[in-house]
Structure 1
Amino acid sequence: MVEDQIREVFARAGAEGLLHAVPIGGEPCRDEVTIGRRATGDTVAAGEWTAADEVAVGADEPVVIASVFKVLLVLEFARQVTAGQLDPRARVRVTAADRLGGWGTAGCADDVELSLRDLALFAISVSDNSAADLLLAQVGLDTVRLLAEELRLERTRIVGGPRDVLQSMLSEVGARDESEFALRYPALPEARKRRMSVLDPSRTNASTPREITRLLCLIWRDEAGPPQACAQVRDLMSRQVFRHRLVSGFPDEATVAAKTGTLPGLHMEAGVVRYPDGSRYAVSVFARTRELAASRTAVDAAIGTAARIAVDFLRRRDG
């Protein structure tokens, strides 16, 4: 079975993997209408796929979503821009107090000034934590939560932005800043590291693989908001620079628009794969490693391989 193949891919990489993959057809993606067709010709409601309509490996298990959260954040930003509530050209200054470490402005040595729409670009394309945090301050945490409710992502929980995640990690380790955290964290017992709230779906930003593919489905069908807003999110996701996970599993002729997420022991990516014939597939993959490392090339490659196995299965079925 295809699910067994996917489990074996992750096992060989020293990880456990959860995955959900579905075709994105031309029909609307709301629950009351169809999103695909079974082999029998019967219609299938969104969120009610059968084994013939999807590839699911633990698709309904809760998962930490880490930076995949930024897709929902940027979607809310795009919706507010389209509604005239935010000026995408408004300027924001990223100061030393805003830096959270990592890529983009989050790791800059000096203050940076840029527009709100460039914050959105950085948040998605290089997973800039400072950009995401400042963007969240503009759109509002409560509105992002309300968006998840509106889209009927009933098992998706948003507790905060990147700064909230960082602060929880610092406080649990007893560190005053990132430098002290970097010294204290490696010395912690493995069991204590695994108990940290950022690795627990019940205490941090979380969802399920199925709900993440639902979110992608809605965005790609212009049903997560105004078409202009959905198009902006699709464009930003297509500009993500990281190509070591989903992209690594697919041939050059396939295009991938996606968002990664990473925490110690957690590697994930969710995105849409498009082939030249116009067929599109939403895929979300979440891997947990046995060792709490933030960098594991074998696991990253396994994410791409597992996604390719799932999409190839769906393409054979559609063919």
Structure 2
Amino acid sequence: MSVAARAAGADQVRTALSYTFAQAGVEGFVHARDLDTGAEFGHRADSRVVLASVFKIPIVLEYARQAAAGRLDRAGRHTVTAAYRAGGSATDGCSYDVEMSARDLAFMMMTISDNAATDLLLDVVGIDRVRKTLDELGFAGFGVSSSRALDDDIRRELGFAPGSSIDDQLTGISDERLLALGVSDPERSPSSTPRQVTALLAAIWRDEAGPTEACAEVRGIMSQQVWQHRLVAGFPEAGVRIAGKTGTDFAVRNEAGVVEFPDGKRYAVGVFLRTSSAAGRQPIADRAIGRAARAVIDHLRSRQ
């Protein structure tokens, strides 16, 4: 393909992305990379974006690295107590204490984005260890936090009582106030850039982020994510495999993951949206993530 043809193709993709994001009423930030050739394509890929639960990727990586090194027992038992539960999905919404292995905490954190499991696992592996590993791998700017800390910030900003249920008190709070919360601001919440996120995924998929055993465990867990409404929406074909992690907050809709085609080609992709609504259900924005990912990956595949 000639240089001129590639430039024209890139312009077409950027136009398509702009249209997709405008139709969904969102700001969009995208990056994709071919895991075998290193070819890349991005749209606002070096802007800092709120990660939301995408920050759980380095937590599961640290868990897997410690397990592979023999410093952490995968089968070791840990209890999700009321101190970790804030309401939500999986153990976060359980009425009573739940005991499970370290491995299963990682599984719940990544497959269903269980915040209580996340915070307990983060206590087990140590947030300082997560940050040290990110620094050593060259991802010093990649944000990480506990879910509790983010929830505490929301309570303080909205004037809710410490430890109270956030969801039960949101009725009547305006979109304007919710969209202005610190959790939706990359300067005040765990953040990174789309390019950095796909670089971390590439390191995991190439066994460069730790021992082969650890990287393989992370890939296996991420391949079992239950959410089928974002990246998956752009790749409905049989035989296409997707491993990903979503991230959601009031003004945030994200997903980052790896798309593998039957021909063996693999692409890391991250799509990060800032929405104009704080509504919990935003199917048009969710579908825009799949469409954007498809557009950039199809562009990379056309350049082969």
Q: How would you bin the TM-score normalised by the shorter chain?
A: over 0.9
Query: Which of residues 114, 119, 126 in structure 2 aligns to 1:140?
Result: 126
Amino acid at match of 1:151: L
Query: Which of residues 98, 107, 118 in structure 1 aligns to 2:93?
Result: 107
SS at structure 2 position matched to 1:17: strand
Q: Partner residue of 1:41?
A: none
In the TM superposition, what whole-angstrom CA distance separates every residue of 1:16-57 from its partner, at most 9, and x where no partner exists? 1110011000xxxxxxxxx53xxxxxxxxxxxxxxxx32211
The answer to whether the 8 A contact 2:232-2:242 is kept is: yes
Deviation at 1:179, TM superposition (A): 5.6
Amino acid at match of 1:22: R
Q: Partner residue of 2:8?
A: none
SS at structure 1 position matched to 2:303: helix
Structure 1 position 192 matched with structure 2 position 203: no
Deviation at 1:188, TM superposition (A): 3.5
More deviation, 234-243/3-12 = 3-12
The answer to whether the 8 A contact 1:274-1:280 is kept is: yes
Specify whether residues 180 and 222 from structure 1 end up closer, same or farther in structure 2 by C-alpha distance, changes over 3 A only: closer
Deviation at 1:288, TM superposition (A): 1.1
Deviation at 1:97, TM superposition (A): 2.4
Q: How many angstroms apart in 2 are the aligned matches of 1:168 and 1:150? A: 29
TM-score, normalised with respect to structure 1:
0.88
Q: Partner residue of 2:62?
A: 76
Q: How many angstroms apart in 1 are the aligned matches of 2:32 and 2:188? A: 26
Deviation at 1:278, TM superposition (A): 0.5
Q: Partner residue of 2:15?
A: 4
In the TM superposition, what whole-angstrom CA distance separates every residue of 1:191-225 from its partner, at most 9, and x where no partner exists? 43333211111111110000000000000000000
Q: Partner residue of 1:30?
A: none
Q: Partner residue of 2:239?
A: 253
Structure 1 residue ranges (4+ consecutive) displaced by more than 4 angstroms after TM superposition: 177-180
**How many percent of aligned residue pairs carry the same amino acid?**
47
Q: Partner residue of 2:53?
A: 67
Structure 1 position 216 matched with structure 2 position 227: no
Q: Partner residue of 2:212?
A: 227
Q: How many angstroms apart in 1 are the aligned matches of 2:165 and 2:93? A: 17
Structure 1 position 172 matched with structure 2 position 167: no
SS at structure 2 position matched to 1:88: coil
Specify whether residues 276 and 183 from structure 1 end up closer, same or farther in structure 2 by C-alpha distance, changes over 3 A only: closer
Structure 2 alignment gaps of length 5 or more: 1-11
In the TM superposition, what whole-angstrom CA distance separates every residue of 1:46-98 from its partner, at most 9, and x where no partner exists? xxxxxxx3221110000110111111000001101111111111101112222
In the TM superposition, what whole-angstrom CA distance separates every residue of 1:209-267 from its partner, at most 9, and x where no partner exists? 00000000000000000010000000000000001000111022211000000001210
Q: How many angstroms apart in 1 are the aligned matches of 2:191 and 2:272? A: 11
The answer to whether the 8 A contact 1:267-1:287 is kept is: yes
Query: Which of residues 1, 8, 17 in structure 1 aligns to 2:28?
Result: 17
Deviation at 1:184, TM superposition (A): 4.4
Amino acid at match of 2:296: A
More deviation, 289-298/226-235 = 289-298
Q: How many angstroms apart in 2 are the aligned matches of 1:79 and 1:69? A: 16
SS at structure 1 position matched to 2:239: coil
How many pairs does the alignment contain? 292
Q: Partner residue of 2:252?
A: 266
SS at structure 1 position matched to 2:243: strand
Amino acid at match of 1:157: G
Structure 1 position 205 matched with structure 2 position 190: yes
Amino acid at match of 2:16: Q
TM-score, normalised with respect to structure 2:
0.92
The answer to whether the 8 A contact 1:3-1:55 is kept is: no
Q: Partner residue of 1:317?
A: 303
The answer to whether the 8 A contact 1:103-1:128 is kept is: yes
Deviation at 1:180, TM superposition (A): 5.5
The answer to whether the 8 A contact 1:24-1:280 is kept is: yes
More deviation, 148-157/274-283 = 148-157
SS at structure 1 position matched to 2:30: strand
The answer to whether the 8 A contact 1:244-1:300 is kept is: yes
The answer to whether the 8 A contact 1:220-1:234 is kept is: yes
Structure 1 alignment gaps of length 5 or more: 26-34, 37-52
Deviation at 1:183, TM superposition (A): 5.2
RMSD, aligned CA: 1.5
Amino acid at match of 1:146: K
